[in-house]
């Protein structure tokens, strides 16, 4: 109750500074292992206080950086308190999935993914700023070390689960360390922000109107194409189609066109997504650090999907 009272007072301070008045009670619609969200109605519509957990508190200063460098593609914070780990955001409206439905996702993403690519291009000169904000380094050169960290983290689950299948999967990944390092060296050194959970419920708005990319708590500094790991797997899953289906290929190629010839870049995208599974494993691990619950097996399943030489995998 003391924390909520403090949060309420801070929200009111930030709203007053912005010339806005709260008109409803502060409610807590979401509590997760990785953070909580509070909501309140105001004279300018709903606002949301996001309070990430310690493992993802970097999202708070990151919002300030994004609003400065790529303001067209993100929500503009009403208030930021990096010391407390709080960011107050305006309501971004319905998500892409809510607005177009599953059957409209592919066509919408043909327009939206190039916009996300432009955001990544805008952030490419700001790698050091992203690291200073607390974004974790998952660039190709450090990924062999990140694989070791992922194996250590998933090894704790394997040791406690007494699951023979989990032990075998973990051992298989361990045996591929050298192969993984070699493939990391093959990946061109493009670097930007990887949202790491970019699906249609983390995109606000829909074409032909403006869109905003939301929920940056899983993001890492990585090869930009690794973002498509979650995006394309989620799209294929919702549409129940394979990775080469035109409904998946068209938005994929529209994204790649921002960087060059999609035909020439496809192998790079597939490699970036394959390597990005290790980053996704560690993102799962940090989000679940304090309370794994029903997702306890998710990091190992994601790491074990390296067996699939494709982005189409658990993500």
- The yes-or-no verdict on residue 262 having pLDDT over 60 is yes
**Taking a C-beta distance cutoff of 8 angstroms, is the pair 174, 147 a contact?**
no
Specify burial of residue 293 (Cβ count, 10 A radius: 0-12, 13-18, 19+): exposed
Mean pLDDT for 25-51 is 87
Query: Average pLDDT of 52-65?
Result: 92
**Confidence bin at 131 (pLDDT 50/70/90):** very high
Please state the rounded mean pLDDT for residues 272-280. 96
Minimal CA–CA distance to 173: which of 300, 288, 283? Answer: 300
| Higher pLDDT, residue 213 or 311 | 213
Q: Tell me the DSSP string of 93-158.
A: -SBHHHHH-GGGHHHHHHHHHHHHHHHHHHHGGGHHHHHHHT-EE--GGGHHHHHHHHHHHHHHHH
- CB under 8 Å to 297, separation ≥6 — which residues? 157, 161, 166
Instruction: Please say if the pLDDT value at position 75 is more than 70.
Output: yes
Position 86 scores a pLDDT of 95
pLDDT for residue 286: 85
Tokens of 131: 């690291």
Distance CA 314, CA 233 (A): 8
pLDDT for position 162: 81
Band (54; pLDDT cuts 50, 70, 90): confident
Give the pLDDT mean for 209-231.
96
- Per-residue pLDDT, 28: 85
Question: Can you give the pLDDT at residue 314?
Answer: 44
Domains of the chain: 2-90 (3.30.200.20), 96-307 (3.90.1200.10)
- The pLDDT-based confidence of 292 (bands split at 50, 70, 90) is low
Q: Is the pLDDT confidence value at 31 over 80?
A: no
Q: What is the mean pLDDT of the chain?
A: 93
Residue 114: closest CA among 250, 236, 256: 256
Q: Please report which confidence band the pLDDT of residue 310 belongs to, taking 50, 70 and 90 as the band edges.
A: low
Residue 180 is predicted with a pLDDT of 97
Q: Is the pLDDT of residue 315 over 50?
A: no
User: Residues of the chain with pLDDT > 70: what percent?
Assistant: 94
Phi and psi angles of residue 215, each rounded to the nearest 5 degrees, phi first: 70, 75
Q: Is the pLDDT of residue 143 over 50?
A: yes
Q: What does the pLDDT read at residue 53?
A: 85
Strand bridging mode 212-213 / 136-137 = unpaired
Mean pLDDT of 132-148: 97
């Amino acid at each position: 109750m003391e924390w909520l009272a403090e949060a309420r007072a801070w929200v009111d301070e930030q709203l007053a500074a912005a010339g806005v008045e709260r008109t409803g009670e502060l409610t807590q619609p979401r509590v997760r292992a990785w953070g909580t969200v509070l909501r309140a109605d105001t004279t300018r519509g709903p606002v949301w206080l996001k309070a990430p957990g310690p493992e993802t508190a970097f999202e708070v200063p990151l919002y300030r950086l994004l609003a400065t460098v790529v303001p067209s593609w993100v929500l503009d914070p009403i208030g930021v308190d990096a010391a407390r780990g709080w960011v107050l955001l305006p309501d971004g409206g319905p998500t892409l999935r809510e607005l177009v439905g599953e059957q409209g996702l592919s066509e919408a993403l043909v327009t939206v993914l190039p916009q996300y690519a432009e955001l990544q291009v805008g952030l490419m000169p700001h790698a050091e700023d992203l690291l200073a904000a607390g974004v974790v380094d998952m660039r190709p050169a450090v990924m062999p070390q990140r694989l070791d960290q992922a194996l250590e983290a998933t090894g704790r689950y394997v040791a406690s689960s007494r699951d023979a299948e989990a032990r075998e999967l973990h051992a298989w990944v361990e045996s591929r360390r050298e192969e993984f390092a070699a493939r990391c060296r093959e990946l061109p050194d493009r670097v930007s922000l990887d949202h790491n959970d970019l699906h249609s419920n983390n995109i606000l708005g829909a074409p032909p109107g403006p869109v905003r990319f939301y929920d940056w708590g899983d993001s890492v500094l990585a090869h930009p194409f690794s973002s498509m790991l979650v995006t394309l797997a989620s799209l294929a899953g919702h549409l129940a189609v394979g990775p080469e289906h035109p409904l998946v290929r068209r938005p994929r190629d529209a994204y790649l066109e921002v960087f060059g010839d999609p035909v020439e870049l496809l192998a790079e995208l597939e490699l970036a997504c394959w390597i990005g599974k290790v980053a996704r494993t560690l993102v799962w691990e940090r989000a679940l650090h304090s309370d794994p619950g029903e997702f306890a097996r998710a990091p190992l399943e994601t790491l074990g999907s390296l067996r699939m030489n494709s982005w189409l995998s658990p993500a």
